[in-house]
Amino acid sequence: MKVVSGYPDLYCRSGTYYLCKRIPKGLEDAYSGKSHIRRSLRTKNKREAIKRLHAEQVKLDAEFAANHVKLRKTLSTTEANEIAQSYLRDLLIEDMEVRQDGDLESVSVFDQVKDQLKQAQIPHKVGYSEQEIVAEFGLSDRDVSRLREDVECIRPYYKEALAKQDLGAVSNEVDELSEVHHLELPRGSDGWKALARELLKATVQYCEIMQRRNAGELDEFISSMPPISTPERDFLHQTGEPDAYGKTRSGMTLRELVDAYKSNPGRRASERTNKSYEVLFRIMDDVIGNEKYVDEITREDFRRVRDILLKTPTNAAQRFPGKSATEVVELAKERGLNTLDPATVNVRLELMSALFKFAEQEGYVVQNLAKGLKVSEGKKAKDRRKAFTIDDLNRIFSAPLYTGCRNDQAGYAVPGPNIIKRGRYWVPLIALWTGMRLGECCQLHCSDVKEIDGVWCIVISETTDGGGMDEADKKRIKTAAGERYVPIHSELIKLGFVDFVLERQKTKDVRLFSELTASAEGYLSDNFSKWFNGENKFLGKVGVWKKHEKVFHSFRHTYRDAMTYAGLSRDVIRALGGWSSGDTEDNYGSELSAKFLKEQIEKIGFEGLVLPNLS
């Protein structure tokens, strides 16, 4: 092959251009002992080959870096300290963002508990005045008190562990960070112990700093810390080019980062999320520029993206095809159009942060500067949602759909002789007696209802039987904690649900409610929600619907309240409802037996609920 002058990695052979690069020392085993690696650029055009060369070089450098780190099974004390200090920095930055944003949601929790106690007619005293719970800026008195209690609880534990060198106190954190930094450190090895010791010291340091912050003392810790490096980042930066100031950069542009993120095999995203990403990527290109190097993108660049999002109208792509983000904003301002809801803006900002978290993990940037840009949503829609009252439930289940209607389609609200037990009939009942999310109910497969140790259960997972399914047959679970099984309440069995399932299992249908249709984006819950929620929809016709407050998801709030009133423990509530604990380990319900959970779920009831003609 002949090298192309001026491009040391570019070669031409028989008219086709190739990238040919020496494999770094120590990585030969990962490439079958070869000294060089060759990749075709799939073009005979020199100009096009030069264009493709840079992108392929970046990809290959990232591949070398990944293989370099994968091969590491040891860790020096210095490297362990750098990882621990990076972990400490992240914790402290997150804490400061919480303090600045007032993000403990005390007001919504306080109001929710107060309303529940009042509704249940339970006498209660409030330990804080409303003024102490509500803060105009930052945290309230109650929030700070909670932070102090947290630190006072964990500080003695970690200090004692440090004194005894009890490395098991941070074993979960060691395993998590080993995975993040692509390290293979057997438990008890020198590298594992080095990282555990440094993490234990960093955790005690965190407790001490938190204690000072809670006392209102000045904290200069973050600003005084040197830039954090890791073995992976150091290796990547060695492959970059120095800028005008002599600083080494990764050489990756925003466009290349987006491409790398999309092709990341470890990334899971729904079609809906991918569409949101495409909108965000277009705005970032307009505001920042796809050819800008990612390690030159500043916090101010991310703020400009946020400001554009706040001024962007709804359905902008459909209303203004071909217009840039700034042009769209100007047109929206001229016409007085409604802009995106703050919650939607925050979703896009979280996606941007996820993109640069990936860049940070891969070593393309030193720090994720896109983190912590969310805007105030006022009282979030999810916080405004209320549980159904007994009167609401009686209105819902005395509707013609349950007492007799013309049919379960257009005639569901018209009294008639038919009680048609299909999706529209069963889904609200399942949600009431299991607390399952709407999407989880709609996507149930016939095989998801089964006996476990003699107990009839609904299994909620993304696992499917067989292949060749339509898009609507594929299941989605919101969080890792959502993977669970829920014993079927005796009341639901009395209503004939298990009998219905057994009949459905005799058919060749995959889905339990095969008549339910999916939206264009593939979600069965979308169309069901449109039928159920709204002033002129099912809930509105029975006089229950209230915008943002009384919706299908209120079944889930109702179920959680019922579990609380029944005296179920927090772990059981989480196991049955699939709620995340916020911890790294969310498999808290995996060891609870079906028999035990059945005993717990039978404690749940709704006093005053009347289900006429449902036998």
Q: For residues 216 and 275, state if they share a domain.
A: no
Confidence tier at 26 by pLDDT (50, 70, 90):
low
Residue 467 scores a pLDDT above 50: no
Confidence tier at 337 by pLDDT (50, 70, 90):
confident
Q: Tens of pLDDT along 431-466?
A: 999 999 999 999 999 999 999 999 999 998 876 554
Q: Which residues contact 179 (CB under 8 A, 6 or more apart)?
A: none
Q: For residues 96 and 7, state if they share a domain.
A: no
Q: For residues 58 and 189, state if they share a domain.
A: no
Q: Is residue 410 part of a domain?
A: yes
Residue after which a domain boundary falls, among 49, 70, 91? 70
Residue 114 scores a pLDDT above 70: no
pLDDT at 580: 57
Q: Which amino acid is at 103?
A: D
Residue 288 scores a pLDDT above 60: yes
pLDDT at 482: 47
Distance, CA of 590 to CA of 612 (rounded, Å):
36
Q: Is residue 497 part of a domain?
A: yes
Which tokens go with 106? 């005390």
Q: What is the mean pLDDT of residues 353-362?
A: 90
Q: For residues 175 and 213, state if they share a domain.
A: yes
Q: For residues 315 and 166, state if they share a domain.
A: no
Coil, strand or helix at 295:
helix
Residue after which a domain boundary falls, among 70, 86, 112? 70
Q: Which residues contact 532 (CB under 8 A, 6 or more apart)?
A: 428, 538, 539, 551, 552
Of 57-61, 73-77, 298-302, highest mean pLDDT: 298-302
Q: For residues 267 and 391, state if they share a domain.
A: no
Q: For residues 521 and 588, state if they share a domain.
A: yes
Mean pLDDT lowest among 319-333, 372-386, 394-408: 372-386
Distance, CA of 574 to CA of 484 (rounded, Å):
10
- For the chain, first and last CA: distance in Å? 81
**What is the value of pTM for the model shown?**
0.47
pLDDT exceeding 70 applies to what percent of the chain? 77
Element (H, E) at 457: strand 455-460
Element (H, E) at 597: helix 594-601
- CA 358 to chain centroid, in Å, comes to 14
Distance, CA of 233 to CA of 61 (rounded, Å):
11
CB 486 within 8 A of CB 556: no
DSSP category for residue 341: P
Q: Which residues contact 293 (CB under 8 A, 6 or more apart)?
A: 249, 250, 251, 252, 253, 254
Mean pLDDT lowest among 86-95, 176-185, 513-522: 176-185
**For the domain that residue 393 is a member of, what is the CATH number?**
1.10.443.10
pLDDT at 293: 87
Distance, CA of 265 to CA of 15 (rounded, Å):
33
Confidence tier at 585 by pLDDT (50, 70, 90):
very low
Residue after which a domain boundary falls, among 315, 345, 361? 361
Residue 290 scores a pLDDT above 60: yes
pLDDT at 391: 94
Higher pLDDT, 138 or 213: 213
Residue 187 scores a pLDDT above 50: yes
Confidence tier at 176 by pLDDT (50, 70, 90):
confident
Higher pLDDT, 555 or 290: 555
Question: In Å, how far are 174, 295, 367, 434, 566 from 500, measured between CA atoms?
Answer: 49, 58, 54, 17, 28
Distance, CA of 528 to CA of 438 (rounded, Å):
8
Q: Tens of pLDDT along 383-427?
A: 457 899 999 999 999 999 999 999 999 999 999 999 999 999 999
pLDDT at 411: 93
pLDDT at 265: 72
**DSSP of 161-190:** HHHHT-GGGGHHHHHHHHHHTT----TTSH
Beta-carbon count within 10 A of 389 CB: 15
Distance, CA of 101 to CA of 112 (rounded, Å):
21
Of 183-187, 326-330, 578-582, highest mean pLDDT: 326-330
Q: For residues 355 and 259, state if they share a domain.
A: yes
Q: What is the mean pLDDT of residues 296-325?
A: 88
Q: For residues 23 and 114, state if they share a domain.
A: no
Higher pLDDT, 224 or 303: 303
Q: Is residue 108 part of a domain?
A: yes
CB 402 within 8 A of CB 387: no
Q: For residues 537 and 413, state if they share a domain.
A: yes
pLDDT at 52: 83
Distance, CA of 427 to CA of 445 (rounded, Å):
13
483 class by beta-carbon count within 10 Å (0-12 exposed, 13-18 middle, 19+ buried): middle
Distance, CA of 7 to CA of 46 (rounded, Å):
11
Distance, CA of 514 to CA of 446 (rounded, Å):
10
Distance, CA of 145 to CA of 523 (rounded, Å):
43
Coil, strand or helix at 219:
coil
Residue 32 scores a pLDDT above 50: yes
Q: What is the mean pLDDT of residues 320-328?
A: 86
Q: For residues 33 and 170, state if they share a domain.
A: no
Mean pLDDT lowest among 11-20, 131-140, 395-404, 483-492: 131-140
Q: Is residue 608 part of a domain?
A: no
- Least Cα distance to 457 among 591, 573, 594 occurs for 594
Mean pLDDT lowest among 170-179, 268-277, 524-533, 554-563: 268-277
- Least Cα distance to 532 among 505, 506, 561, 554 occurs for 554
Q: Is residue 606 part of a domain?
A: no
Residue 587 scores a pLDDT above 50: no
**Mean pLDDT of the chain, nearest integer:** 79
SS3 content of the chain, % helix, strand, coil (to 5): 50, 10, 40
Q: Is residue 379 part of a domain?
A: no
Which tokens go with 307? 């400001």
Q: Tens of pLDDT along 468-498?
A: 445 445 555 544 444 788 999 999 999 999 9
pLDDT at 582: 45
Residue 598 scores a pLDDT above 90: yes
Mean pLDDT lowest among 15-19, 119-123, 439-443, 600-604: 119-123
Q: For residues 138 and 177, state if they share a domain.
A: yes
Residue 64 scores a pLDDT above 60: yes
| Domain range enclosing 513 | 385-601
Residue 234 scores a pLDDT above 90: no
How many domains does the chain divide into?
A: 4
Q: Please tell me the number of Cα atoms within 13 Å of 219 on its side-chain side.
A: 19
Distance, CA of 600 to CA of 295 (rounded, Å):
53
Distance, CA of 264 to CA of 149 (rounded, Å):
41
Handedness of CA 566, 570, 574, 575 (dihedral sign): negative
Distance, CA of 195 to CA of 171 (rounded, Å):
10
Q: Is residue 607 part of a domain?
A: no
Handedness of CA 282, 287, 291, 295 (dihedral sign): negative
Q: What is the mean pLDDT of residues 233-260?
A: 58
Q: Which amino acid is at 352?
A: M
pLDDT at 401: 94
Q: Please tell me the number of Cα atoms within 13 Å of 2 on its side-chain side.
A: 8
Confidence tier at 317 by pLDDT (50, 70, 90):
confident
Q: Which residues contact 208 (CB under 8 A, 6 or more apart)?
A: 155
Mean pLDDT lowest among 104-113, 337-346, 397-406, 481-490: 104-113
Write b or e for each residue in 392-403: b if 16 or more Cβ atoms lie within 10 A of its Cβ, otherwise e: bbbbbbebbbbe
Question: In Å, how far are 220, 443, 459 from 210, measured between CA atoms?
Answer: 12, 45, 42
Q: Tens of pLDDT along 529-559?
A: 999 998 899 999 999 988 778 899 999 999 9
Q: Is residue 87 part of a domain?
A: yes
